[in-house]
Amino acid sequence: MSPRARRTAFSLVLFFTACGLAGMVVSQRVGAQSAGDESQFRDSLKSFTSVYNLVAENYAEPLNADMPDKTIYDGAIPGMLHTLDPHSSFYDPKAYAKMREDQHGKYYGVGMTIQPQFIAGTQKIVVVFPYEGTPSYKAGIHPGDIIISVDGKSTDNMNSEQVANLLKGPKGTHVSLSVAREGSAAPLTFDLVRDEIPHPSVDLSYEIRPGIGYIHITQFQETTGREVSDAVNAFGNLKGLLIDLRGNPGGVLVEAVAVCDKFLRRGQVIVSQRGRAFPEQVYRATHGDGRQDFPIVVLVSHSTASAAEIVSGALQDHDRALIVGETTFGKGLVQSVYPLSDDTGLALTTYHYYTPSGRLIQRNYNGVSLYDYYYNHDQPQDLKNREVKQTDSGRTVYGGGGITPDVKIDPPKSNHFQDVLAAHYVFFNFSKHYLVNHSITKDFQVDDKVLADFKQFLTAQQVAYTDQDIAGVLDWVKANIKAELFTSAFGEQQGMRVRANWDPMINKALEYMPQAASLEETALRDAAARQAAKNSGPQAE
């Protein structure tokens, strides 16, 4: 067994021993650890060490380079944790750094989104868009620019993560980029100075209809509560608010609580945590909404999870918002992250989330494969076997399977032609081609001439189509052309607005604002009645 393999095995034994000691500490809170349990744990460690030694000595290929780490980080530890539940997980150094970056909502670099594309048989890294106000944006990096090299190092056949790591670095340091741009005869060189790159969780906030605000929250990080509060305050006198939580995977619990605190009355329960080894924790609104009375619609999807489900469940249980869209993911297991040595971490399930009415958010995962648990969400749920609870006004809601929307809105399904256009990055590539010889203003519309140019581009790119293909999804085609052109010409925010204005689910959700207003009126009336009853109760004399 090589010295490296021995060190890796030894580190793993130490890791399991630390987990075992932590488990013993937890067990002491809820009951004594038996001698038999301790003996069984030691036997398990011996068995694992024996298996690892056998593999290291006899496997067909030597366990060198990164193989020992991969067997531990990608194999043994995740395998152990997944026997407990789907969400307890291990962060290797890269994943741990990324998790902390996501929580902080900032990093140091040049500020752009990039993606790989195969061009002339070689994988190239293409700029999707620079973040507004960042070094790359100020320097004039454009969507569609192909990054040829970073600090003189060719990026051919690199993946996005490898190039992103080259672009990141300490604040104030320089990085040189060479890019190819359509319409430019020679590569362009940019000397960028790295800076702090904020990555806000509210990536779009604007008045989508007169008096109606729209907020899209990508995840819950350390700045989300403040971001949402700032966005709502900036709208002024709101007549309604649409909160878009589609695709939001969750994040920092206290920030979900802060968002709810903005919309609920002071003292109302937001969420409770219940675990085996720790006392129940109940989170309440500590500040309250300051008597801001406007209807709220929350738009959710199958991939709305965790902290985003806390927000959805709390606003639904208190009749403060109408929830529309799809049934959410159903992640109600709370992971506490324990930092370990060598910049690694362990996310261990320690609590379950419950909504104010007492609903368990977590979906059943017993007897379900990891693939089906994460990706096969479309089977209808049997409401008969789910716990039944009531909102403040007596509406029926169900627990144990995510947040069931008050109104179901199905997402649009793409056809084969749409899938082909997406696979070829057609709209993205057309925008950089079109802007070489055209300029646009903010009153730009996709007219017949633009469509004719688009069809010529499809032909040049050897993308098969018929006029019937385009006519069948004409609104979608026009929206995507306009969105990509606006992103290139005016920045990411303007492109996102174009997509949101077209989005069928958003437009359908806005139709339910009157129903949300009725729900809000009922909630206010019930709250006033409860307060009056409390005030008119027996008085001591």
* Nearest in space to 179 (alpha carbons), one of 136, 209, 214: 136
Gap between the Cα atoms of 365 and 237, Å rounded: 44
Strand partners, 284: 269
**Roughly how many angstroms between the first and final C-alpha of the chain, as a whole number?**
85
Which of 92, 289, 317, 406 is flagged as catalytic?
Answer: 317
Question: 41 CB contacts (<8 Å, ≥6 apart)?
Answer: 20
Q: CA 325, CA 331: separation in Å to the nearest integer?
A: 17
CA distance 172 to 53: 47
Closest among 127, 150, 153 to 140, alpha carbons compared: 127
Pairwise CA distance, residues 292 & 408, whole Å = 27
Q: Please list the residues that pair with 115 across neighbouring strands.
A: 126
Query: From CA 503, how far away is CA 498, in angstroms rounded?
Result: 9
Q: How far apart are CA 514 and CA 468, in angstroms?
A: 38
- CA 455 from chain center: how many Å? 35
How far is it, in rounded angstroms, from Cα 390 to Cα 527?
15
Catalytic choice (124, 331, 389, 432): 331
- Phi, psi at residue 174, to the nearest 5°? -100, 150
Query: Coil, strand, or helix at residue 323?
Result: strand
Report how far residue 166's alpha carbon sits from residue 33's, in angstroms, rounded to the nearest whole number: 49
Catalytic, 317? Answer yes
Residue 448 annotated as catalytic? no
Catalytic residue selected from 306, 312, 431, 488 = 306
Asked about 331 being catalytic, the answer comes back as yes
Would you please indicate which residues are annotated as catalytic (active-site) residues?
306, 317, 331
